Structure 1
Amino acid sequence: MPFEADREVPALIVKFGDYPLHHGGVGAIRSLGRLGVPMYAITEDRCTPAAVSRYLTRAFVWPTTGTEDPGRLIEGLIRIGRRIGRPTVLVPTDEEAAVLIAEHQSDLFGRFLFPPVQPGLPRRLASKQGLHELCVEHGIASPEAAFPQSYDDIVDFAEKARFPVVAKNREAFVRRRRPAVGGTTRIATREGLLALARDWGERPGVILQEYLPREEAEDWIVHAYFDRDSTPLAIFTGVKVRSWPPHAGMTANAYVVDNPELADLAARFIKQIGYTGIIDLDLRFDRRDGQYKLLDFNPRMGAQFRLFESESAVDVVRAMHLDLTGRAVPEGEQRAGHRYVVENIDLPALLAYRRSGYTTPHAPKRPSGTELAWFAGDDPLPFLTMLGRFVRPGAKHLHQLWRANRRGSATS
């Protein structure tokens, strides 16, 4: 290892909501834990994969929904900070946590360490409308979009739109409440849009976007960490081979692919908006006009962040811990050709993609190495716990996979 982490400064995985099978949190626990950093995590119960990792010092069982009053969540974080008893790096795994930390920095300062981001910026970036407005402001390509305020607006849109179109929830947080649509939804016809929209209420919280045909597009990922001057201390690019639900959900299989043009595009955008911290970007390269179009900006660690590691053994979580503890982040090229597989969702994704005939042009034929999301020889219990929760009778995860597969042909 070409560097040493500060083992006197622990880290806390911060997650809000009920999603116990989160491989990103397990990856962060292992990444820093293998360096000797004391690791803590907020978990739904004591039998989640994260809670049983050998690298976890302690799990703080705190069931949440993500819809709690922010003051209550901050009080809970402060109580956890008191129990840890020393300044701790915060590692958010969802938008709710990232936005909460950013907007309540003054309450958390001194007890916790986190990037000093502009307080309102993560919320704006996590919002589909806020992100689109920033892209327009700074000349970053993104899909054409409309933000209807009423059913009449949707009727007007339907008269002029070129179908299919894509519907998404406007704000990232609505998935914890009553979302208008169940994730990214491809709508094939005017009649289909109007029928769906009847259930969206008087003020539909949706964004309607142009559809970027999968046969004319490539899905790319950028993960990076930026210091307080919005300078990238670690930046990585890769291609998404498969996702679940198909073409619209979380990464199931991906490769590291060098793309200096895309890395430069991301770095320039971050500099323009003045962001600091970890980013996880989803972009779609539109071969029709040769542009990378920004689809999603996650102002936090992405679940698949362990796809990316430099030759100096730096990933974005390690870069953040090193930077926030005053240590240099060693330079190093990314491990081109490396593959990442999420075991429990890649098999159904593979079956769905075979039916669709979709292939990824830039995926190398022979990976230089493979990182599994769940299984690790030095830490097997998270994998076994995931299997137990995933396949047990009545488990909602299998039902969710089945439903997503049923509607896979309708998503983009």
Structure 2
Amino acid sequence: MLLLGSDFKALGVARSLGRRGVPLGVVDNLPRSGWFSRYVTRRFKWPGPMHGNEFLNFLLDVARRNGLEGWILFPAQDETLELVARNCDSLSKVYRLVTQPWSVLKWAHDKKLLHVIAGGAGVQHPRTWYPASEGEIRAMDIPFPAIVKPTISIEMQYAIGRKALPASDVEGLIQGYRRATAVVAPEDVMVQEVVTGASQYSVAAFCEDGHIVSAMTARRTRQYPIDYGLSSSFVEAVEAPHLIELSHRLLGRLGTTGMVEVEFIEDRRDGQPKLLDVNPRPFGWHTLCIASGLDLPWMQYGYAIGRRPTRVVPRYGLRWVRILTDIPAGAQSVRAGLISPLDYIRSLSGASVFSVLDARDPLPAAADLLVAARRLLLMTGRPTEARRTSHRGEPARLGASPGRPHVD
């Protein structure tokens, strides 16, 4: 299997499959924790952004030059997921793919399209508006607080390190809209109501043609940053069967095949779960699923080689923590009065699964710290605004130039 990306999500995949003897390689432009895993035997460094035509050429060349024809290609991050989906025809000539074509994947990947599917499935989501201009924002009856966010978040994350921009009034909303449209096209920007003071949950599942084969639920207790986190930092395996039913309706309409996470937020105003996102790829806390008996990477691998998935009954009660981000998330929560220092320390007691730390595979933890230090240096030198670039559109053409840079 060839993993596209080497962060802690890819590391979880590598450990799951490597312990079972599956040969593993990784491709990345910045070696991260998974790159240094003892289970990875082939490493391919790419000097540019992990999208676009040059990267597509590189992947095709890697297979042909290194005898990887027939290997499973497994994207572990959003931009590589989209690249593979948009270029299934060319990549499937040399690799086995676990990614569905763009004609299917786009309905989960793009939140504007996802909301159309959710409406048809009877799954609620926070109220959302799609203004085409600043003038339309002023004319809309939008309650505050609200947020501005892209329909596909990866470009803004890399450009300014944020998934969403909060606003408490119209002028703040206009400013957020301007920041967002400096990075993505106006038609790819949305405004959404803020669902406050609520718990966030996820459904993790393996699907075949939209049918959930096996699933489990979890509460995403903390994220970092704590307002609109880039990723979860503390997750607890708790039972929420009603969310599996909602996910079944949604994923059935999406026609999803493979491992997937469906994110919800519980609206305390009416007690109803509202859809936040769908991630049809390895997600941050998937190693909690593995520890609970639901090994999604192994199921994905088996499905790729023709083995039909069987139903698994997961165990509940374990916790997952990403120490590198949960400590600052805990500090932010204490400062905000959301939790006491003692309660934070108590939350870390009990049976836990770590995102990176593993005595049987120790090097990735050291690499994780080095990457975090690099990220901090990059953030201190990052400009406040970014030039607008876009890697979406037509499938990548061989030999064309890439778009925006990749920042870990």
Q: What residue is the counterpart of 2:3 in the other structure? A: 13
**Shift of the alpha carbon at 1:131?**
1.5
Q: Supply the AA of the counterpart residue of 1:36.
A: G
Alignment pair present for 1:271 and 2:290? no
In structure 1, distance between residues paired with 2:157 and 2:221: 28
Q: TM-score, normalising length from structure 2?
A: 0.83
Aligned counterpart, 1:85: 68
Distance 1:206 1:393 in 2: 26
- Could you tell me which amino acid in structure 2 is paired with residue 80 of structure 1? V
2:165 paired with 1:175? no
Is 1:306 aligned to residue 293 of structure 2? no
Residues 105 and 378 of structure 1: is their aligned pair in 2 closer, same or farther, counting only changes over 3 Å? same
Residue 185 of structure 1: aligned partner: 165
Match of 2:39 in 1: 55
Contact 1:65 1:176 in 2 (8 A): no
Shift of 1:61: 0.6
Paired residues of 2:221 and 2:234 also in contact (CA < 8 A): yes
Are 2:215 and 2:294, in contact at CA under 8 Å, matched by a contact in 1? Answer: no
Letter of the structure 2 residue corresponding to residue 285 of structure 1: E
Using the alignment, how far apart are the partners of 1:353 and 1:294 within structure 2?
Answer: 24
**Offset of residue 353 of structure 1:** 1.2
For residue 30 of structure 1, the aligned residue among 9, 12, 15 is 15
Once residues 253 and 166 of structure 2 are traced to their aligned partners in structure 1, the CA distance between those partners, rounded to angstroms, is 32
The residue matched to 2:199 in structure 1 has which SS? strand
Q: What per-residue deviation string (whole Å, max 9, x for no partner) do you get for residues 190-244 of structure 1?
A: 2322344455469364210111012xx11001222212x3222331210011101
- The answer on whether the counterparts of 1:390 and 1:398 sit within 8 Å (CA) in structure 2 is no
Contact map agreement 1:93 1:303 (CA 8 A) in 2: no
**For 2:75 and 2:272, how far apart are their aligned partners in 1?**
31
Partner Cα separation in structure 2 for residue 377 and residue 177 of structure 1: 32
Matched, 1:236 2:226: no
Conserved 8 A contact 1:314-1:330: no
C-alpha contact 2:148 2:176 (8 A) present in aligned 1: no
- The corresponding residue for 1:149 is 132
Measured after TM superposition, the shift of residue 13 of structure 1 is: 0.8
**TM-score, length basis structure 1:** 0.82
> How many percent of aligned residue pairs carry the same amino acid?
25
**Superposition pairs for residues 13-412 of structure 1, below 5 Å?**
13-15=3-5, 22-45=7-30, 47-69=31-53, 72-82=54-64, 83-115=66-98, 117-157=100-140, 160-175=141-156, 182-199=162-179, 200=181, 203=186, 205-214=188-197, 217-227=198-208, 229-249=209-229, 250-309=231-290, 313-358=293-338, 369-391=351-373, 395-396=377-378
Q: Sort the Cα spacing of 1:41 and 1:393 in 2 relative to 1 into closer, same or farther, 3 A.
A: closer
Give the letter for the 2:83 counterpart.
Answer: L
Query: 1:257 & 1:90 partners in 2: Cα distance?
Result: 32
Q: Is the 8 A contact 1:336 1:368 kept in 2?
A: no
Work out the CA distance in 1 between the residues paired with 2:338 and 2:377: 30
Call closer, same or farther: CA 1:112–1:314 in 2, change over 3 Å: farther
Task: Tell me which amino acid in the other structure corresponds to 1:35.
Answer: R
Q: Do the aligned residues in 2 keep the contact of 1:138 with 1:269 (CA within 8 Å)?
A: yes
Q: CA RMSD in A?
A: 2.8
Conserved? CA contact 1:337–1:367, under 8 Å: no
Cα gap change, 1:329 to 1:366, in 2 (>3 Å): farther
TM-superposed deviation, 1:358 = 3.4
2:52 is paired with a residue whose SS is coil
- Give the CA deviation at 1:111: 2.8
| CA positional deviation for 1:388 | 3.0
What letter corresponds to residue 335 of structure 1 in structure 2?
A: R
Q: CA deviation at 1:314?
A: 3.6
Query: Tell me, what secondary structure is at the counterpart of 2:203?
Result: strand
Deviation at 1:107, TM superposition (A): 1.6
**Matched-pair contact (CA < 8 Å) for 1:338–1:367:** no
CA distance in 1, matches of 2:381, 2:14: 28
Contact 2:302 2:309 in 1 (8 A): yes
Structure 2 stretches of 5 or more lacking a match? Answer: 340-345, 383-408
Match of 1:376, as an amino acid? D
> Please, which moves more after superposition, 96-105 or 343-352?
96-105
State whether residues 73 and 98 of structure 2, in contact with CA within 8 Å, keep that contact through their aligned partners in structure 1: no
Q: How far, CA to CA, are the matches of 1:27 and 1:379 in structure 2? A: 11
Measure how far apart 1:327 and its partner are.
2.5
Give the 3-state SS of the residue equivalent to 1:288 in structure 2: coil
Give, in whole Å, the separation in 2 of the partners of 1:31 and 1:146: 41
Cα 1:197/1:323, change in 2 over 3 Å: closer
Figure out how many residues of one structure are paired with residues of the other and give that number. Answer: 372
Deviation at 1:84, TM superposition (A): 3.9
3-state SS, counterpart of residue 222 of structure 2: strand
- Report how far residue 51 of structure 1 moved: 1.8
> Distance in 1 between the 2:381 and 2:290 partners?
34
Is the CA contact 1:223–1:237 (under 8 Å) kept in the aligned structure 2?
A: yes
| Shift in alpha-carbon separation, 1:115–1:51, aligned structure 2, 3 A | closer
In structure 1, list runs of 5 or more residues that go unmatched: 1-10, 401-412
Residue 378 of structure 1: how far off its partner (Å): 0.6
> Aligned-pair distance for 1:173?
4.3
